[in-house]
Homo-oligomer: A and B are copies of this chain.
């Protein structure tokens, strides 16, 4: 019975990525401060910072010290593309193999998309 509890900072990272792709964190706008998001999510500010860190490294977010972090132009599309590539290259083959083993029909599940 794998509870599969991903680390908090990765869960936050996924939430943030989704929000950027969906435009809820719009390009050019400021992200919630680490403290604000930490309070909202009941997490530690440092854990939130760790989640933000990766977006800075990838140049999807710009830091203005003392001010805040901003979503750069084109971040949503770039993020969507890279996530998409990763999904198709790394995750989907495994998922597909797993589904085959378990007797789950991919065509059937994807039909009513």
Contact = CB atoms under 8 A, between A and B. Distances in A.
Copies in the complex: 2
Residues of A in contact with B, size category: 20 to 34
A88 interface: yes
A80 to B, nearest CB: 6
Interface in A1-27: 1-2, 4, 7, 10, 18, 21-22
Given A2-B10, A10-B4, A95-B95, A87 B102 contact: yes
Interface in A87-108: 87-88, 91-92, 95-96, 98-99, 101-107
A104 to B, nearest CB: 6
Q: Which 7 A-B pairs have the closest CB atoms?
A: A106-B110, A84-B102, A106-B113, A83-B102, A21-B101, A87-B102, A107-B110
